Structure 1
Amino acid sequence: MERVDVAIVGGGPAGACAAERAAAHGAETVLFEQGVPREDRDELGPDSTDAAGMLDYWIDIMDFDHREIPDDVIHQELDATEFVGPSSRLELSTTGIDADYPRFGYTFHRARMDDWLHERASDAGADLRVGTGVKSLETDLRAASPKGPTHTLTLSDGAQLEAQYVVLADGPQRRITLEALDQFTPPGRSVSDHLSPPEANHIAYQEYREFPPELFEEDRLKFWWGYMPGETAYPWMFPNDGTVARVGLTMPIGMDLEDVPNPGAYALLEPTDDQLPSGAEYIRRLLEREYGDEYDVEEDIPIVEDRGKSKGTETYPISSTRPIDSPVGANIAVAGGAMGTTSAFHEGGYHVAVRTGKIAGRLAATDSLESYNDVWKRAIGDEIVRNVAFADIVADYEPDDWDRAFEIVTDMQGSGDENAILERTYSAGIGATKLLTAYKKRKFGYRDGRYVQLTEDEYFY
């Protein structure tokens, strides 16, 4: 049987970065990625579907110098984000967090970014096996190895491989992660209870649309809040290359119209609806609402069919839950979306996937995996706390709540940074005070890693 030091399941940003770091630290490393086709990629690659926006400080979280990222990865430099409520608007021109990148952020070509990470891993000496998936993982807790438990991976072609350490980076679908980790948890506290994809994920849908030049906003991200029902459900628009933009949305999986107490309050629902619209119908309604008075949407803002996964459209799951610790005592680390690090508030997860993958790969290669849960919390804990606190605050928001929140934040902005907002709390009124108090209270509740929903000491070996 083939034997390696580190085996990595999944070739997205977490897996590729784990492979690069493990190989760079001298470990014999193999990465398995089943691979998917895309209209804009010649060969199989990771499931590179994402709205793909990068904020300034996220680059620092990834632990990259922004100057080393290839130019052809970046689509548009950004100066702001615009939040559109049912009757209000809010523009943010700063994240309020110190960063080396000189502008608000950028949009990027997700497949090219993933391919660049694969190149780095290959150049470091990792064996990347794209097109080969993993069917199952069995752990021998009583292995004779002086380094502790070992693992047997059964591959999609029937072959088997033994690894000393495993990094699970199979994304929000968690095809291998759930079963692999459930063997270390008691009934009622299984990983599946926390991260089962239908309950722990949102579904996202996006279309690549060609806009008339006069409509294309190249320097900003745009989000519509309070337009569709569901916890953290919203449409977005991200500028791409030329005048192509990705228009998409996220929404909970399995939500029904009967679950919506006041459907008439949502701009993208219609009185004749007998069920919630599909992603494509939501996008059509949004574009008609924004531009239909002056433009024929299908003629003037057409889908660009040579992009994305399938004729200019993409559908994909996004993890929308709080993270879990890894069973490091079994020589296993979970990284990226598989562990639930993607924000439940804004569904941005690329930066934390990269960083957790780098940490997992380095620690596995240096026989230091026992410290993984502590190290990733130090690296991305502040980001996780911000996101889960905001997700809690807006969980039950309805359209009017979004309008009030945007009006409050507009009054609070001041010079735009976080300290200025805090200093202007009093002058912005009681609403600002309540909003900031709620945020601080939730952040305090998640201190010392309490945002983790399945802790390391709950695994048994």
Structure 2
Amino acid sequence: MERVDVAIVGGGPAGSSAAERAAAHGAETVLFEQGVPREDRDGLGPDSTDAAGMLDYWIDIMDFDYREIPDEVVHQELEATEFIGPNSAVEMTTTGMEASYPKFGYTFHRARMDDWLHERADDAGADLRVGTGVKSLETDLRSSNPKGPTHTLTLSDGDQLEAQYVVLADGPQRRITLEALDQFTGPGRSVSDHLSPPEANHIAYQEYREFPPELFAEFEDRLTFWWGYMPGETAYPWIFPNDGTVARVGLTMPIGMELSDVDNPGGYKLLRPSDDQLPSGSEYIRRLLEQEYGDEYDVEEDIPIIEDRGKSKGTETYPISSTRPIDSPVGANIAVAGGAMGTTSAFHEGGYHVAVRSGKIAGRLAATDSIENYNDVWKHAIGDEILRNVAFADIVADYGPDDWDRAFDVVSDMQGDSGENGLFDRRYTAGIGATKILAAYKKKKYQYRNGGYVQLSEDEYFY
């Protein structure tokens, strides 16, 4: 049987980053990625689906110098983000966070970014097996190896491989992670109870559309989000500008939500009295474009889908884990990274930055026989970011259309005419509304202090 030091399941940002760091630290490293086809990639690769926006300080969280990132990865440099409510809107021109990147952020080509991370891992000496998936993972807790438990991976072609350490980075789908971790949760319990409840998970859908140049110019330097237009916890449509005059128009919505679950369907601009069920993602987008631009443009004629982009004919559907993260069973020599551990978020539109950073940490610690420190190290590196997202998501969980209008009015009052108070700026001091928002935010952050945002802790695993 083939034996390696570190085996990595999944070749997205977390897995590729783990492979690069493990190989760079001298470990014999193999990465398995089952591979999917895309319209904008030759051959198989990771499931590179994401709205693909990067805020300034996220680059620092990834632990990259922004000048390292190839020019062909970046689509549009951004100056602002705009949040639009049913009757109010607010523009922000800073995140309010210290960052080395000189702009608000940028949009990027997700497949090219993923491929660049693969190249880095390959250059470091990792063995990248794209097109080979993992069927199952079994852990020998009683291994005679002095470094502790070992793992047997059964591959899609029937072969088996033994690894000392495993990094699970198979994304929010968690095709291997759930069953692999269930080995350590005890009778009657399952990791699925934490990571896969339908009411907490989201699905994202997006289309690549080409806009008339004069219309594209209106949002070419900003991210645009519409809040309170469609029902559901952290459910919203968006437009992200890409190259040329192409933009990704998409949305996030909860999985499993029904029209009967909506308290006031008449209050949402993207619902219709004639609806007998919630619209599909494509129908939501059509309604958004008709509402925003239909008076001047024929949407299907003037803003067409570009079929040579994305995963399938200019469209993409992908899961987003909106659950809180879990600790890894490090006592079993396993680290879970990126979306598989629940670090992505429907609130901030994915989690590429935290996936990269958690992958880098997992790979380095596995290669240096220090994996027992993983849960502490990732919390130190990305815990503040996760804490912010969890706190904000909890605050707005039950917001309806009127709540979003009130919130945007408050934020507008906070920043005056300058737009300079950022997404996470602590200088919110304007009026009672601002005080209430800040108090709620601080209360939530306090509730989740000291890693309290973790929903399955290390001491809950059984070895």
TM-score interval (norm. to shorter):
over 0.9
Change (3 A) 1:329 1:419: closer
Q: CA deviation at 1:431?
A: 1.0
Paired residues in the alignment total 459
Q: Contact 1:62–1:355 at 8 Å: present in 2 too?
A: yes
Q: Aligned-pair distance for 1:417?
A: 3.9
Q: What's 2:273 paired with?
A: 271
Aligned: 1:337 with 2:328: no
User: 1:328 touches 1:370 (CA, 8 Å); kept in 2?
Assistant: yes
Task: Please name the residue that 1:130 is paired with.
Answer: 130
Q: Could you tell me how far 1:346 is from its partner in structure 2?
A: 2.0
Distance in 1, Cα, partners of 2:422 & 2:114: 32
Equivalent residue letter for 2:393: A
SS of residue paired to 1:223: strand
Q: CA deviation at 1:458?
A: 0.4
1:22-50 CA-to-partner distances (Å, cap 9, x unmatched) read 00000000000000000010110000000
Amino acid of the structure 2 residue aligned with 1:304: I
How far 1:429 moved relative to its partner? 1.6
The alpha carbon displacement at 1:328 in A equals 0.1
2:219 is the alignment partner of 1:227: no
- Distance in 1 (CA, whole Å) between partners of 2:363 and 2:65 is 19
**More displaced, 416-425 or 442-451?**
416-425
Deviation for aligned residue 1:421:
5.7
The one-letter amino acid paired with 2:458 is E
Residues 334-357 of structure 1: per-residue CA shift (max 9 Å, x gap): 000000001242233000000000
Cα pair 1:222 1:238 within 8 Å, conserved: yes
Contact 2:97-2:425 within 8 A present in 1 as well? no
2:358 equivalent in structure 1: 356
Distance of 2:306 and 2:290 partners within structure 1: 18
Alpha-carbon offset, residue 420 of structure 1: 11
CA distances 1:350-385 after superposition (whole Å, capped 9, x unpaired): 000000000000000000000000000000010001
Query: Does the aligned pair in 2 maintain the 1:344–1:388 contact within 8 Å?
Result: no
Q: Distance in 1 between matches of 2:209 and 2:124?
A: 37
Please tell me whether residue 250 in structure 1 is matched to residue 284 in structure 2: no
1:383 aligns with 2:385: yes
Aligned to 2:190: 190
Amino acid at match of 1:60: D
One-letter amino acid of the structure 2 residue matched with residue 360 of structure 1: A
Partner of 2:54: 54
2:336 partner amino acid = V
In the alignment, the residues of structure 2 paired with residue 290 and residue 169 of structure 1 have an alpha-carbon distance, to the nearest angstrom, of 39
CA distance in 2, matches of 1:70, 1:344: 27
Show CA shifts across 1:366-407 (max 9, x none): 000000000000000100010000000000000000000001
Question: In the alignment, which residue of structure 2 is the partner of 1:99?
Answer: 99
| 8 Å CA contact 1:56, 1:102 repeated in 2 | yes
Deviates more, 1:15-24 or 1:430-439: 430-439
Distance 1:348 1:194 in 2: 18
Amino acid in the other structure paired with 2:411: V
Other-structure match for 1:116: 116
Q: TM-score scaled by structure 1?
A: 0.98
Separation (CA, whole Å) in 1 of partners of 2:352 and 2:175: 19
1:6-405 map, 5 Å? 6-196=6-196, 198-216=198-216, 217-405=219-407
Query: Residue type of the partner of 1:436?
Result: L
Q: From 427, 430, 433, give the equivalent of 1:431.
A: 433
Q: Gaps (5+ residues) in structure 1?
A: none
- In structure 2, C-alpha distance between the alignment counterparts of 1:28 and 1:421, rounded to whole Å: 44
Unaligned runs of 5+ in 2: none
1:183 maps to amino acid? Q
Structure 1: which amino acid aligns with 2:249?
V
Task: Supply the AA of the counterpart residue of 1:37.
Answer: P
RMSD across aligned C-alpha pairs, in angstroms?
1.3
CA shift in 2, pair 1:310/1:347, >3 Å: same
Q: Percent identity over the alignment? A: 86
**Which string of whole-angstrom CA distances, capped at 9 and with x for unpartnered residues, describes residues 412-460 of structure 1?**
12562469964451xx221111111000000011110000000000001
Q: Which is further off, 155-164 or 409-418?
A: 409-418
> What SS class does the counterpart of residue 443 from structure 2 fall into?
helix
Tell me, what secondary structure is at the counterpart of 1:119?
A: helix
Letter in 2 for 1:285: R
**TM-score normalised by length of structure 2:** 0.97
Counterpart residue type for residue 171 of structure 1: G
CA contact (8 A) 2:96 2:424 kept: no
What is aligned with 2:410? Answer: 408
> How far, CA to CA, are the matches of 2:182 and 2:240 in structure 1?
38
AA matched with 1:40: D
Q: Distance in 1 between matches of 2:153 and 2:335?
A: 15
Give 3-state SS (helix, strand or coil) of 1:267's partner. coil
Shift of 1:188: 4.9
Three-state SS of the structure 2 residue aligned to 1:215 is helix
The 8 Å contact of residues 10 and 31 in structure 2, kept in 1 or not, is answered as: yes
SS at match of 1:280: helix
How many angstroms apart in 1 are the aligned matches of 2:176 and 2:202?
19
Contact 2:95–2:425 (Cα < 8 Å) also in 1: no
SS at match of 1:406: helix
Deviations 1:153-209 (A, max 9, x none): 000000000000000000000000000001100245421100126344211100000
**CA–CA distance in 2 between the matches of 1:81 and 1:42?**
33
Q: Within 2, Cα distance between the matches of 1:72 and 1:100?
A: 20
Q: Secondary structure at the match of 2:450?
A: helix
Distance 1:108 1:413 in 2: 29
1:247 is paired with a residue of what secondary structure?
strand
Name the CA shift for 1:205/1:418 in 2 (closer, same or farther; >3 Å). closer
- How far, CA to CA, are the matches of 2:10 and 2:169 in structure 1? 5
The amino acid across from 2:331 in the alignment is G
Give the Cα–Cα distance (whole angstroms) in 1 for the partners of residues 204 and 277 of structure 2: 18
Structure 1 position 218, deviation (Å): 1.0
Alpha-carbon contact 1:412-1:421 (below 8 Å) kept = no
Aligned counterparts of 1:261 and 1:429: Cα–Cα separation in 2: 30
Secondary structure in 1 matching 2:247: strand
Say if 1:423 and 1:113 are closer, same or farther in 2 by CA, change over 3 A: closer
Distance 1:300 1:129, change over 3 A: same
